[in-house]
Chains A and B, each alone.
Chain A
Amino acid sequence: MTKRKFGLGLSLMLAAGTMLAACGSDEDTSSTDTGNGGEGGEGTEETSDFSVAMVTDVGGVDDKSFNQSAWEGLQKFGEENGLEKGDGGFDYLQSQSDADYNTNLNNLIRRDFDVVFGIGFLMEGAVAEIAAQQPDAQIAIIDAVVEADNVASVLFKEQEGAFLAGVAAALMTETGKVGFVGGMDIPVIERFEAGFLAGVEAANADVEVDVQYTGAFDKAELGKTTANRMYQGGADIIFHAAGGTGNGVFTEAKERKEADADANVWVIGVDSDQYDEGQVGDANITLTSVLKRVDNAVFNISEQAMNGEFPGGETVVYGLADDGIDLADSRGAIPEDIMTQIEEFKQQIIDGDITVPETVE
């Protein structure tokens, strides 16, 4: 009797284990493949002796935002230079908490990667510390400035893209009211806000902007309630710079569009092209997205480093002029005549005729 029970328990356990494992492997098939490829190709067809790796912040490598974008940049770089994933090629490590950054950076440096990227301002302290301990390592950090000879700091002019989003929103709004949903109240997000406000102001000073910060990048439900309040209050276009929280903004807009196909609700996405997020049946509520091309930046820095021109000790700033920032294709959501006006503003920013403020006055 007891034996049978024990046997039952054991088989249940095995079944549970298998199921759990199956779930895991489903999600990870893509990375499994590349992983195996890396092992197989290791050392056999080394076309270049340059290697590069990155550490994600707590968002993880599949955050649909800048971590993912950075990894795409690395993958593209690896592909073009015949590198394999793994040692001596390109690789990434994910962080689960702020305390993991040091270890992950150190691990990659010990595996002799020529350049190691720290993705995100959260890693500022860790990069500064490791850079001092490992003076021979080349480290690049995205979205923060670390003053050290072996660190390249990469910043973006988010305000320039947000400015164009503001222009688009101000020219497209029918209610005369638009919204901005921010994540945490930090300098990077403030640049988005400042640019958006300036853009609205420049295109149509009569348009009102409702600015709300949710205080988090991972709280979709907060984004949803905030968006609900804004749409309720008469706003018809919301620009979000809130990572995962912004997914709630999309949910709210989609629900409104679903309930009423004629509802005039729009969302402007951020970081990557969020067109797919806005699909409702045949309609789409994504007006456009402010692109932050972390992938281009990662690619460029890697290339420079490979050519022996790693910009250590420098701060590199990417903006509209050098394809670091852009607006995504609106796929017809923005009519031709407004597009022309946006293009004009864009040209003026590139030419330096307009300087977009970084902070809210």
Chain B
Amino acid sequence: MSNRVTNILVPLVSVILGLLVGAIIMLVSGYNPLIGYTALWNGIFGDLYTIGETLRQITPYLLAGLAVAFAFRSGLFNIGVEGQLIVGWFAAAYVGVAVELPKIIHLPLAILAAAVAGALWGFVPGLLKAKFRVHEVIVTIMMNYIALHVTNALIKTVSDGGDRTERIFTSASLRSEFFQNLTEFSRLHYGILLALIMVGVMWLILEKTTLGYELKAVGFNQNASEYAGMNVNKNIILAMVISGAFAGLAGSMEALGTFEYVSSKGGFTGIGFDGIAVALLGMNTPLGVIFGATLFGSLKYGALNMPNEAGIPLEIVEIVIAVIIFFVASGYIIRLLLLRAANKKKEAK
């Protein structure tokens, strides 16, 4: 079996296996898998509205995935994307509510505020890691909780004791009348374009700049990089700052596009944590993140339609979706099995 054939076969077989096991689970629970999967398909591609909403769901996953992937490439495990996303969400919404400016200034300002807030939230663990060797996993996890409760307190202050801010001024909104008319009032917004541009930006930084080269070198081997004359500490901080900025941008997607406000949260949004899976599915490459985010976003959004159209309880749906993602993620095992099968055939000959 040639390499190219295996490369195409592996993802295909993983998805099919995932769907099969998911079907068995539905069957055993007493639901018709065909109806279930039709509902899933319709939930993702059913009409223009669902396509718009699916794209809307993919947008923050793209940026959260980029954030995790970028840190990974520099040898850092940024679990704090969730917290950086939350502060970014708040910062963007605050700028959106606090002032009214011409759109050409207001919108970039709100987006920038989110990126800066996220970067700041990434800077702290980066600094601690660089200066005192405090492990970034511990610090970022703690920073998540700080972000959650600080923003909740700030929202209360900003909204005079309420639980959410006012709607942002339209001058700060990413929503687009064009997209809304195109997709029958879905919440699809211009953020998807920004997210795709950021995929390009990450690729540029990593592949075409000295900075990216150094970051990757630090990721491969810190001692070697230092020996080669690179400033390892500076690169660690920079990696966390840039990763945090991506996460902050993901927050601005929610603040300026999906919700147009920020409300106090009882728990985490989950987007930041799913971002880890998105990045790993995409093998931490910019293009891979697009694939991971599309898979995650589509399944997550489409799953909503399974209880709606097929009457399958949400708990079963969650298991089915998890199984599909599990099989896609374990593509390596499938590759191994395929290779063994091929070898055996050769032996038999």
A122 interfacial contact with B, CB 8 Å? yes
Cα distance, A216 to B187, chains bound together (Å): 28
Cα distance, A58 to B265, chains bound together (Å): 11
Cα distance, A21 to B340, chains bound together (Å): 31
Q: Which residues of B contact A21 (CB under 8 A)?
A: 24-29, 316, 319
Number of interface residues of B (CB under 8 A): 49
Contact status B307-A94, CB under 8 Å? yes
A340 interfacial contact with B, CB 8 Å? no
Contact status A186-B308, CB under 8 Å? no
Q: Which residues of B contact A133 (CB under 8 A)?
A: 185
B266 interfacial contact with A, CB 8 Å? yes
Q: Which residues of B contact A3 (CB under 8 A)?
A: 344
Q: Which residues of A contact B163 (CB under 8 A)?
A: 121, 184, 186-187
Cα distance, A187 to B254, chains bound together (Å): 24
CB-based nearest A residue for B28: A21
B337 contacts which of A6, A13, A60 (Cβ < 8 Å)?
A6
Cα distance, A13 to B314, chains bound together (Å): 22
Contact status B24-A17, CB under 8 Å? yes
CB-based nearest A residue for B152: A215
Number of interface residues of A (CB under 8 A): 52
Cα distance, A106 to B258, chains bound together (Å): 15
A124 interfacial contact with B, CB 8 Å? yes
Number of A-B pairs whose CB atoms are under 8 Å? 113
A100 interfacial contact with B, CB 8 Å? yes
A223 interfacial contact with B, CB 8 Å? no
CB distance from A218 to the nearest CB of B (A): 6
Cα distance, A179 to B57, chains bound together (Å): 42
B261 interfacial contact with A, CB 8 Å? yes
Q: List B residues 274-318 near A (Cβ within 8 Å).
A: 301, 304-305, 307-308, 311, 313-316
Contact status B264-A38, CB under 8 Å? no
B164 contacts which of A22, A108, A124, A185 (Cβ < 8 Å)?
A124
B304 contacts which of A98, A100, A111 (Cβ < 8 Å)?
A100
Q: Which residues of B contact A36 (CB under 8 A)?
A: 30
Q: Which residues of B contact A217 (CB under 8 A)?
A: 266
Contact status A20-B258, CB under 8 Å? no
B25 contacts which of A17, A107, A111, A125 (Cβ < 8 Å)?
A17
CB distance from A14 to the nearest CB of B (A): 7
B266 contacts which of A32, A35, A107, A216 (Cβ < 8 Å)?
A216
CB distance from A2 to the nearest CB of B (A): 5
Contact status B57-A24, CB under 8 Å? no
B313 contacts which of A31, A98, A106, A125 (Cβ < 8 Å)?
A31
B259 interfacial contact with A, CB 8 Å? yes
Q: Enumerate the 7 nearest inter-chain pairs by beta-carbon distance, A residue then B residue, closest first.
A: A21-B28, A186-B163, A25-B29, A21-B25, A107-B308, A17-B24, A28-B313
User: Can you name 15 A-B pairs with beta carbons within 8 Å?
Assistant: A2-B341, A17-B21, A21-B28, A24-B313, A25-B28, A27-B315, A86-B311, A93-B307, A96-B304, A98-B269, A103-B53, A106-B49, A107-B305, A107-B308, A124-B164
Interface residues of A (CB under 8 A from B): 2-3, 6, 13-14, 17-18, 20-22, 24-25, 27-28, 31-32, 35-36, 38-39, 58, 60, 86, 93-94, 96-100, 102-104, 106-108, 111, 121-122, 124-125, 133, 183-187, 190, 215-218
